[in-house]
């Protein structure tokens, strides 16, 4: 009745301007102020720990304030930002490349480790061991220019599909982690990938998928050599390991490529253990997080016994030192963006 | 008289508000709009070429517009951002370290190349050749943690002085180049150092002196190894070359550390030749600049015959391809900030 009276009293246009518009405005303001920055994370200790860390570090009046230029954060990729089962996705890429190149190499039909891949015989492939894997990597990742390799990776991603989900591999990224990356960046943190994967396998798509530009991707690499081709300089990819960015290599990679110790590090396996230790050993507020794969239904469940992404020693240290452990099943409302 | 009448008519306070304040405001606006971004550069072709490139690239309505994330620029350090005569400043650092460490190594009094340094015998030092220099570098740059080395560099810079100018080495940076760095950053460019110098020799001061953070410094490096000391991880510096970021190594370093081709590159010697070629070979607008040391009075004059910072082949190519060449004597109003 009061509303009706007011409407009559003010007239329709004036009523809208004076009473309705301000309410809409207030609603938007409240919505923005209280918007959940991590909507795919269930409420609980894990989510609270993340938000508390960001508030402590980014709030200028906080006694533990960290200036923006020091807000370096590092993320493992395989198993932390996207899936890594049943094998690292870069493995699927290498196998597909062997199959694509096979017509030019008839001898591969009788030669391991190529024979095993062409016959989809994973047991025979495993028997070729590290030497076999190294030969596959070098055959598929070297012998072309950096620009040619970038195109090969992009073309593969545009068509290849994950066998379980029948979707492009770049769909198998974790929605809660995408939200976390965006939340950190919104609060002045710089987000880096520090992965055991090949740096030039990740750079062609990391910006589009994660919002992480090429210069913030640190990874394993093979050697490059400058050559002139038709009067134009090109960088040739050589079949020789340059740097392995895994385990004890991660703090080395961080120092080499970033030159600052991170304030927060995110991983999921023992390959990230030293990165988390290195991060924890710095002064001031620190945040160390492990993604624990506990959800066989929506993704995969694995830890101490897994040949891919084994999480054993790092999990013990996380429990002992109070690092944050994400229970994927419990902490994540959604896993993938689809 | 009119002014006097107006003052009388309006009263003093009102006169100030209505007539004087707007004029001050207008003055500031005009000043900001027409402020010279490169006041230490003399007017002329060189300065115009820089400003034209920035306008073409950063202006959204320009047909050659480049989005900010692709505005990567790379700067050599020695001879491009600071002086490099009579020897690279990192050489002074190494010699001073030999002298500081000598009391713990009495055998150096009789052993080359150390004997030569302790006796200031540059001729004997030169006779030890590359092997001698490598031994000095490894002795003075390896065998400590990354944190210890950072402190050693900072302590040295705080006290060491250049023999000709009797000033700290970080005073011998080029004011026109500091202005250029700031001008580029103001227009959305990302400024990187890509230097043959040691990356961990530059990072401790590059942010303060050039406004370039550690993660945007690319340089030569020795190997690092993760070790545990009293339960804390440290990175030990090993006496083994990891990467030489000079000549053909510069495009390799750019690809490894940045992963994007620069749109502009700045150097001063044949060691920057391939970096400029690599930059020039990209698509879209490009800018390649060489600092030519032509001013023996204010700085040094040297080019084709100099053992340090030789500029010969790159100078020929610059002339042939129309790259910008700074004539230090003619183009720079001032050289140093002091």
* pLDDT tens digits for range A165-186: 999 999 999 999 999 999 999 9
* pLDDT, tens digit (0-9, with 9 covering 90-100), for B20-35: 777 777 766 666 556 8
Chain B residue nearest residue A243, CA to CA:
B242
- Helical (H) or strand (E) element with A99: helix A89-101
**Given an 8 Å threshold on Cβ–Cβ distance, is B259 in contact with A226?**
no
Determine the Cα–Cα distance for residues A191 and A193; give it in Å rounded to an integer: 7
Distances, alpha carbon A264 to alpha carbons A189, A209, B231, B274, in Å: 10, 21, 20, 37
> Quick one: average pLDDT of A228-235?
95
pLDDT at position B27 is: 66
What pLDDT shows up at residue B306? 95
Query: Is the CB of B73 inside 8 Å of chain A's CB atoms?
Result: no
- Substitution target in A217, A219, A227, A256 with the highest count of B β-carbons within 10 Å is A256
Mean pLDDT over A22-43 rounds to 78
Nearest to A213 among B69, B214, B274 (CB): B69
Q: How confident is the model at residue B127, as a pLDDT?
A: 92
Place of tokens 């010279």: B36
**Can you tell me the distance from the alpha carbon of A267 to that of A251, in angstroms, rounded to the nearest whole number?**
13
Instruction: Give the pLDDT of residue B24.
Output: 74
| Nearest CA-CA partner of A243 in A223, A259, A225, A220 | A220
Q: Are A79 and A268 in contact (CB under 8 A)?
A: yes
Task: Please give the pLDDT value at position A24.
Answer: 73
CB contact, 8 Å: B35 with chain A?
Answer: no
CA distance A333 to chain B (A): 33
Report the mean per-residue pLDDT for chain A: 93
Structure confidence by residue, pLDDT tens digits, B127-149: 999 899 999 999 999 999 999 99
Strand pairing partners for B301? B294
Residue A328: pLDDT band with limits 50, 70, 90: very high
Reference B74, options B283, B293, B311, B261; nearest CA is B261
**B325 interfaces chain A, CB cutoff of 8 Å:** no
Tokens of A170: 């770049």
Summarize the confidence of residues A67-81 as an average pLDDT: 98
Q: Touching check for B75 and chain A: CB below 8 Å?
A: no
Whether the CB-CB separation of A140 and A97 falls below 8 Å is answered with yes
| Residue A29 scores a pLDDT above 70 | no
Non-local (6+) Cβ contacts of B54 within 8 A are B183, B184, B187, B189
Gyration radius from chain B CA atoms: 24
At A13, the pLDDT band (50, 70, 90 cuts) reads low
Tell me what percent of the residues of chain A surpass a pLDDT of 70: 91
Is residue A35 very low, low, confident or very high in pLDDT (cuts 50, 70, 90)? confident
Q: What pLDDT, on a 0 to 100 scale, did the predictor assign at position B337?
A: 97
Residues 6+ apart with CB under 8 A from B162: B83, B89, B92, B168, B169, B171, B172
pLDDT at A320 over 70: yes
Q: Could you say which residues of chain B have pLDDT below 70?
A: 1-16, 18-19, 27-34
Rounded to a whole number of angstroms, the distance from the CA of B168 to the nearest CA of chain A is: 24
Alpha helices in chain B (DSSP H): 2-10, 12-15, 21-34, 45-58, 89-101, 114-118, 122-127, 129-141, 146-159, 175-186, 199-210, 249-257, 273-280, 313-321, 328-331
Phi-psi region of B259 (alpha: psi -120 to 50; beta: other; left: phi over 0): left
* Cα–Cα distance list, A33 to A45, A306, B321 (Å): 22, 43, 56
Interface of B with A in 149-178 (CB under 8 A): none
Distance CA B193, CA B73 (A): 8
Give B56→chain A minimum CA distance, Å. 23
- Residue A31: pLDDT band by 50, 70, 90 thresholds? low
Q: Is the pLDDT of residue A207 over 50?
A: yes
Nearest to A226 among B225, B242, B274 (CB): B274
Predicted local confidence at residue A3, as pLDDT: 47
Region for B283 from its dihedrals, namely left if φ exceeds 0, alpha if ψ lies in -120 to 50, beta otherwise: beta
Q: CB-based contact (8 Å) between B310 and chain A?
A: no
- Record the pTM: 0.90
Amino acid A51: pLDDT: 98
| pLDDT score, position B33 | 58
A146 touches chain B (CB under 8 A): yes
The predicted pLDDT at position B23 comes to: 72
Contact of A13 with chain B, judged by CB distance below 8 Å, is answered with no
Question: Residue A16 has what pLDDT?
Answer: 67
DSSP A20: I
Which chain B residues touch A235 with a CB distance below 8 Å?
A: 251-252, 255
Please say if the pLDDT value at position A30 is more than 80: no
Residues forming a β-bridge with B243: B221
* Contact predicate A289/A314, CB 8 Å: no
| pLDDT of res. B21 | 72
What residue in A sits closest to B249 (Cα-Cα)? Answer: A226
Test mutation, B73, B206, B213, B215, chain A, max A CBs within 10 A: B215
Distance CA A124, CA A114 (A): 10
Beta-carbon contacts of A246 under 8 Å, excluding residues fewer than 6 positions away, are: A196, A220, A271
The candidate with the shortest Cα–Cα distance to A93, out of A150, A156, A146, is A156
Give the pLDDT confidence score for residue A329 in this predicted structure. Answer: 98
What percentage of chain A carries pLDDT values higher than 90?
A: 88
Buried residues in B326-338 as b, exposed as e (16+ CB within 10 A)? bbbbebbeebbee
Q: How far is A144 from A140, CA to CA, in rounded Å?
A: 9
């Amino acid at each position: 009745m009061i509303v009706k009276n007011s409407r009559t009293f003010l007239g329709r246009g004036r009523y809208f301007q004076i009473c309705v518009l301000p309410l809409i405005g207030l609603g938007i303001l409240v919505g923005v102020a209280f918007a959940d920055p991590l909507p795919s994370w269930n409420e609980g200790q894990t989510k609270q720990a993340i938000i508390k860390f960001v508030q402590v570090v980014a709030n200028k009046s906080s006694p533990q304030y960290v200036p923006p230029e020091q807000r370096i954060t590092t993320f493992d990729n395989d198993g932390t930002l996207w899936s890594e089962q049943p094998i690292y996705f870069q493995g699927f890429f290498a196998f597909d490349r062997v199959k694509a190149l096979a017509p030019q190499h008839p001898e591969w039909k009788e030669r391991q480790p190529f024979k095993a891949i062409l016959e989809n015989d994973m047991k025979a492939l495993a028997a070729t061991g590290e030497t076999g894997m190294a030969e596959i990597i070098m055959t598929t990742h070297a012998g072309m220019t950096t620009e040619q390799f970038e195109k090969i990776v992009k073309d593969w991603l545009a068509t290849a599909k994950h066998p379980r989900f029948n979707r492009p591999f770049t769909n198998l990224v974790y929605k809660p982690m995408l939200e976390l990356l965006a939340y950190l960046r919104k609060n002045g943190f710089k987000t880096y990938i520090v992965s055991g994967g090949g740096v030039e396998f990740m750079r062609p798509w990391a910006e589009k998928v994660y919002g992480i530009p090429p210069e913030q991707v640190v990874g394993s690499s093979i050697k490059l050599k400058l050559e002139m081709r038709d009067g134009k300089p090109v960088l040739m990819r050589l079949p020789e390991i340059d740097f392995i960015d895994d385990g004890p290599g991660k703090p080395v990679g961080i120092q080499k490529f970033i030159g600052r110790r991170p304030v927060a590090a995110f991983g999921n396996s023992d390959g990230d253990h030293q990165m988390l230790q290195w991060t924890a050993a710095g002064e001031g507020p620190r945040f160390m997080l492990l993604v624990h794969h506990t959800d066989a239904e929506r993704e995969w469940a694995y830890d101490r016994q897994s040949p891919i992404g084994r999480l054993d020693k790092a999990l013990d240290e996380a429990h002992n030192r109070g690092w944050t452990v994400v229970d994927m099943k419990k902490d994540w409302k959604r896993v993938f963006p689809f």
